[in-house]
């Protein structure tokens, strides 16, 4: 099954039209300059009988001022015209190494981008440790709309209220999130290449004892509002994970989550193996952690992952995001437990245990 992607082919600005009403409305300026309307009955309409006076009385008695809860639905949807800058999907580790030695070390986004419209469902939002997430629909100016998730970083202010970061901080933090995602994808490709090399050395027809699961990080982009406001609203847009959300391995430990259902154990084992491979192939400098996500949708066998953390050797300094936990990296050799993937793909144990 093909995975949805944020396409950046040529587009036109969409026009959203409301359905035609049952009665035609002719808007015009009256003689005194006010806007007036003449509503003509739709063809086939019949005259209504006089209302039931008791029912009318009840209806009239309910015409109090609307409550805030009653009008919430009017404001629960917001359309935002945005510039979409896709995360480059083809970057390998050597590309990121080369990019790090340029003036554009964090330039992991496609330019010049394309314009689109995001429909945000403000009534369906959720909070993580560092982000607020909205269900959303991305309306490109060509191609069909995509169900996505729009994210913004958050903090707790002095009044103990969870607050979205202002635009400048938002841009910096979300750009850093996309850099982490780019490195996670590239380190995943490093494991892919390693697996291919091992398989090529095996006897013809060799297969690992456990089939490798289909695991990918989500496609993502930076979305910058294009309205007249001085401070642009900025979002990180990701393809939506349709299945149940699970944490496979968190960034506080190399241990696999003990709450995973049995049918996801092999996925978690493969992710633990990938950490071992990355640690080994980079000479103990870096690996990906905080693996979380779920099935692409109810019919798919593809696992989509989101919000990775890049764990690095403490001697490199404070780099990447706040989830790069020094103690977790240092404890990794002792905490990691080799599994069937480590054995089949010829990784040596990290300790003598």
Q: How confident is the model at residue 21 (pLDDT cuts 50, 70, 90)?
A: very low
How many CB atoms are located within 10 Å of the residue 110 CB?
18
Summarize the confidence of residues 221-242 as an average pLDDT.
90
User: Is 8 domain-assigned?
Assistant: no
User: Is 109 domain-assigned?
Assistant: yes
Looking at residue 45, its pLDDT comes to: 60
Our CA dihedral for 176, 177, 180, 185, rounded to 10 degrees, sits at -140
- End-to-end, the C-alpha distance of the chain in Å comes to 41
Distance CA 351, CA 334 (A): 7
Q: Is pLDDT of 116 > 70?
A: yes
Looking at residue 257, its pLDDT comes to: 97
User: Is 1 domain-assigned?
Assistant: no
Summarize the confidence of residues 322-333 as an average pLDDT.
96
Looking at residue 293, its pLDDT comes to: 97
Parent domain of 152: 75-344
Q: Is pLDDT of 11 > 60?
A: no
Residues with Cβ within 8 Å of 164's Cβ and at least 6 positions away in sequence, in order, are: 132, 152, 153, 154, 170
User: Is 234 domain-assigned?
Assistant: yes
Of the given ranges (69-83, 289-303, 323-337), which has the lowest mean pLDDT? 69-83
- Give the helix ranges, DSSP H, for the chain: 53-61, 68-71, 93-100, 167-201, 265-281, 326-335, 340-344
Instruction: Domain count for the chain, please give it.
Output: 1
Distance CA 106, CA 320 (A): 11
Which of 111, 110, 115, 113 has the alpha carbon at shortest distance from 81? 115
Taking only the tens place, the pLDDT of each residue in 234-285 is: 999 999 999 899 999 999 999 999 999 999 999 999 999 999 999 999 999 9
Taking only the tens place, the pLDDT of each residue in 89-105 is: 889 999 999 999 998 88
Query: What is the distance, to the nearest Å, from the Cα of residue 351 to the centroid of all Cα atoms in its chain?
Result: 36
The half-sphere exposure of 216 on its side-chain side, counting CA atoms within 13 A, is 18
What CATH code is carried by the domain that includes residue 295? 3.20.200.10
Q: Is pLDDT of 4 > 90?
A: no
Taking only the tens place, the pLDDT of each residue in 118-173 is: 999 988 778 777 899 999 999 987 778 999 999 999 998 888 888 999 999 999 99
Answer with the residue of higher pLDDT: 10 or 201.
201
Looking at residue 162, its pLDDT comes to: 87
User: Is 45 domain-assigned?
Assistant: no
Answer with the residue of higher pLDDT: 29 or 146.
146
Phi, psi of 69 (to 5 degrees): -65, -35
Which of 266, 273, 99, 300 has the alpha carbon at shortest distance from 182? 99
Q: How confident is the model at residue 353 (pLDDT cuts 50, 70, 90)?
A: low
Beta bridge partners of 125: 134
Looking at residue 352, its pLDDT comes to: 57
Phi, psi of 276 (to 5 degrees): -60, -45
Instruction: State the pairing for strand pair 234-239/146-156.
Output: antiparallel
Distance CA 314, CA 318 (A): 7
Buried b / exposed e along 35-54 (16+ C-beta atoms within 10 A): eeeeeeeeeeeeeeeeeeee
Q: Is pLDDT of 114 > 60?
A: yes
Of the given ranges (111-120, 187-196, 247-256), which has the lowest mean pLDDT? 111-120
Q: Is pLDDT of 303 > 80?
A: yes
User: Is 287 domain-assigned?
Assistant: yes
Distance CA 249, CA 247 (A): 6
Q: Is pLDDT of 29 > 70?
A: no
Percent of the chain whose predicted confidence (pLDDT) is above 90? 69
Of the given ranges (4-18, 295-309, 331-345), which has the lowest mean pLDDT? 4-18
User: Is 146 domain-assigned?
Assistant: yes
Taking only the tens place, the pLDDT of each residue in 36-59 is: 445 455 555 667 889 999 999 999
Looking at residue 123, its pLDDT comes to: 83
User: Is 349 domain-assigned?
Assistant: no
Which of 281, 95, 274, 112 has the alpha carbon at shortest distance from 179? 95
Which 3 state secondary structure label does DSSP give 190? helix
Phi, psi of 80 (to 5 degrees): -130, 120
């Amino acid at each position: 099954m093909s995975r949805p992607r944020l396409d950046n082919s040529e587009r036109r600005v969409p026009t959203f039209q409301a359905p035609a009403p049952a009665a035609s409305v002719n808007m015009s300026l009256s003689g005194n300059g006010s806007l007036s309307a003449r509503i003509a009955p739709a063809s086939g309409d019949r005259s209504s009988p006089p209302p039931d006076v008791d029912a009318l009385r009840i209806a009239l008695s309910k015409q109090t001022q609307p409550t805030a809860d009653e009008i919430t639905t009017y404001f629960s949807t917001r359309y935002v015209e945005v510039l979409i800058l896709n995360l480059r999907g083809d970057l390998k580790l050597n590309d990121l190494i080369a990019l790090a030695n340029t003036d554009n070390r964090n330039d992991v986004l496609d330019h010049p981008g394309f314009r689109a419209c995001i429909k945000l469902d403000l009534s369906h939002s959720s909070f993580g440790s560092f982000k607020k997430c909205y269900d959303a629909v991305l309306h490109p100016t060509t191609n069909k709309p995509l169900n996505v998730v729009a994210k913004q970083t958050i903090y707790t202010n002095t009044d103990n209220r969870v607050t979205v970061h202002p635009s400048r901080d938002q841009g910096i933090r979300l750009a850093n999130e996309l850099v982490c995602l780019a490195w996670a994808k590239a380190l995943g490709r490093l494991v892919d290449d390693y697996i291919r090399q091992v398989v090529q050395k095996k006897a013809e027809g060799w297969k690992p004892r456990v089939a490798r699961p289909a695991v990918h990080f989500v496609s993502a982009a930076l979305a910058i509002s294009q309205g007249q406001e001085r401070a642009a609203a900025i979002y990180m847009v990701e393809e939506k994970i349709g299945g149940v959300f699970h944490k496979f391995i968190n960034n506080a430990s190399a241990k696999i989550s003990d709450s995973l259902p049995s049918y996801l154990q092999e996925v978690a084992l493969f992710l633990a193996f990938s950490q071992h491979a990355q640690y080994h192939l980079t000479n103990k400098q870096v690996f990906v952690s905080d693996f979380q996500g779920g099935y692409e949708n109810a019919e798919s066998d593809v696992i989509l992952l989101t919000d990775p953390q890049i764990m690095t050797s403490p001697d490199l300094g404070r780099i990447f995001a706040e989830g790069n936990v020094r103690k977790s990296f240092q404890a990794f050799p002792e905490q990691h437990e080799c599994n069937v993937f480590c054995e089949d793909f010829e990784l040596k144990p990290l300790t003598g245990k």
